[in-house]
Amino acid sequence: EKPASRNFIEQIIDADLAAAKNVDQIHTRFPPEPNGYLHIGHAKSICLNYGLAQQYGGKFNLRFDDTNPTREEQEYVDSIMDDVRWLGANWEDRLFFASDYFEQLHDWAVKLIKAGKAFVCDLTADEMREYRGTLVKPGKNSPDRDRRVDENLELFAKMKAGEFPDGSRTLRAKIDMAAPNINLRDPVMYRIKHAHHHRTGDTWCIYPSYDYTHGQSDSIEGITYSICTLEFENHRPLYDWFCEALGIHHPRQIEFARLNLTYTVMSKRKLLQLVTEKHVSGWDDPRMPTIRGLRRRGYTTESIQAFCERIGVAKFNSTIDMAWLEDAVREDLNEKAFRALAVLNPLKIVLTNLEPGQTIDIEAPNHPQNPEAGMRTLPLTREILIEADDFMEDAPKKFFRLRPGGEVRLRCAGIIKCDEVVKDAAGNVTELRCTFDPDHARKVKGTIHWVSAARALSAEVRLYDHLCAVENPEDVPEGKTFIDNLNPNSLQSITAHLEPSLVDAIPGTHIQFERLGYFFVDPVDSTPNKPVFNRTATLRDSWTK
Ligand code: ATP
Ligand code: MG
Ligand code: MG
């Protein structure tokens, strides 16, 4: 079903459909380079491309843009496939690799040489840069630009046969060295690189450039809309030039603004740096904006889909507030997550009117809005733990939790009254002595969470803050990098006290610790009877006040 307000890409497609242009059936793709793990920006592109295919009854391809042998690995291919699947995008049997097109791309290059539209160039990389010119200065023709076709064919064949060292020659498209768009100044189509490719092995020692590969791969697959980010806007004339020069199916390239988020970085190169320099524990560190990291943090497929839907598609770059992402997961988990009680920073309470060894079974709903979720039992014992900051000795009037002589409700259990405050020699509060009243009808203003001191499960709980200490970590003065803006307090690991039922918490489950946030049972570090909890997100601040 189509939403009422249409984004600019939908408007383009609608117009094409109305004009019966370009579209028997719309066909999109997601074209990652397997040189790292996917991040939330990629999720945006996946949801967009897959979403359009779904919406218009079209097709969606997953294609690995694997033309750069030195940076690509099978590990990345596997993780990308898993993450795309997890995000709900189904490529069915349409999984492709640009490297499968190497033969075709080579044949087309020969065709361009024969048509006088490509030539072998002997300039070094430095010379080429110099000849290219600048935005304000036109480039100069390569001395090799007018090589005869037969000589070009022979040299290109020798490049392919491995007769020349890396970097000694290139194949270039012959377009226009004076073009205002630098991408059209005889761009490189092939480089010599004697490198092992993760799929084609040592078959090739010449590799096609991104610009020469991308559009042709789209064309081979019958893509109708090649949707990419704005950096490629000024590559579009080149994209179009290759399709026209080869006389092949010509997809339409459409650019949209890439997703940027506050308090993090979002380029594979930088994320890789965080991993290799061990600023994080790996690509799946829950502080990372990678899909792996978000998954391990406790983000759900639905929350990321909703986030991508909500931020929409823009034509201008901007930075989205991280709070949008957190809101999306809260909304989803509010419905899905069962509730539990946990105390992070304990203060002991003795319920003086309970016998030592006495246990009262308290029935608590697993989900307050969903009776079908059932009930669980919490043991109430003479000694319990509450959150230290739920007690205040000199409490202001509006403090509705516990104070000397005051009353507060223990979640699901009843009401306690603070009769006595016990302190150590230094004057620190060490315990409270209270009386317990099982009354459920009487009204008191505040409700706090608690666990049985004797029966609580001690477990590792990881609390996260933003990866970076500032909103725009890449905004740095000379001599600094985003590394200088990492948040030293982004991870806090504590031993918390949990209701005993959580001993069997299954790795990969979402749980709301009431008043504290949504937590995810860590699928990596949890062991039987020893769950580890990652805080996915806090609850809305207003909740705890
Ligand atoms: P990075 O700069 O993070 O390494 P990339 O563009 O080099 O990203 P690719 O693997 O080439 O990574 O990207 C695959 C697809 O994902 C491309 O179509 C790209 O435009 C899109 N994409 C990458 N980053 C973002 C982003 N932040 N927002 C939206 N789409 C993105
Ligand atoms: Mg790329
Ligand atoms: Mg990149």
Query: Do 50 and 30 meet the contact criterion of CB atoms below 8 Å apart?
Result: yes
Size of the chain, expressed as the number of residues it contains? 545
pLDDT bucket at 356, cuts 50 / 70 / 90: very high
- Across the beta sheet with 517-521, the strand order is 338-340, 510-513, 517-521, 532-537, 457-464, 491-498, 342-343
Minimal-distance CA residue to ligand 1 atom 18: 228
Question: What are 45-57's pLDDT values in tens digits?
Answer: 999 999 999 999 9
208 assigned binding-site residue: no
pLDDT in the model for residue 312: 92
* 545 noted as active-site residue: no
Tens digit of pLDDT for each residue in 260-285?
A: 999 999 999 999 999 999 999 999 99
* Element counts in the chain: helices (H) and strands (E): 13, 27
* DSSP annotation of 468: B
pLDDT per residue over 454-466, tens digit each?
999 999 999 999 9
> Could you tell me which CATH class the domain 340-456 is placed in?
mainly beta
What CATH number does domain 8-256 carry, 2.60.40.770, 1.25.10.10, 3.40.50.620, 3.50.50.60? 3.40.50.620
Q: Which atom of ligand 1 is nearest to the CA of 260?
A: 27
Q: Any known ligand binding at 254?
A: no
Span from the CA of 46 to the centroid of ligand 1 (angstroms): 10
- 50 marked among binding-site residues: no
Query: Which residue in 459, 449, 433, 355 sits closest to 401, CA to CA?
Result: 449
The angle at the Cα of 173, spanning 185 to 30, to the nearest 5 degrees, equals: 95
- The ligand whose atoms approach the alpha carbon of 40 most closely is 1
Two tokens at 69? 């042998």
Quote the ligand 2 centre to 32 CA distance (angstroms). Answer: 7
Q: Dihedral sign, CA of 323, 514, 545, 460?
A: negative
The complex's ipTM? 0.96
The pLDDT value given to residue 24? 72
Structure tokens at 133: 């010119």
Residue nearest to atom 26 of ligand 1 (CA): 41
Ligand 1 pocket residues where CB is under 6 Å: 31-33, 41-42, 44-45, 65, 228-229, 258-259, 266-268
The question of whether 471 is a catalytic residue gets the answer: no
Is the pLDDT at 1 greater than 80, yes or no?
no
Residue 543, pLDDT > 80, answer no
In a mutational test of the pocket of ligand 1, which residue from 38, 72, 229 has the highest number of ligand atoms less than 8 Å from its CB? 229
**Catalytic: 193?**
no
pLDDT tens digit string along 313-334?
999 988 999 999 999 999 999 9
196 labelled ligand-binding = no
Task: Assign a CATH topology to domain 268-337+458-544.
Answer: Ribosomal Protein L25; Chain P (2.40.240)
Q: Where exactly are the structural domains of the chain?
A: 8-256, 268-337+458-544, 340-456
- Same topology between domain 268-337+458-544 and domain 340-456: yes
Distance (angstroms) between ligand 3 centre and the Cα of 32 equals 9
Mean pLDDT estimate for the chain? 96
More confident call, 24 vs 206:
206
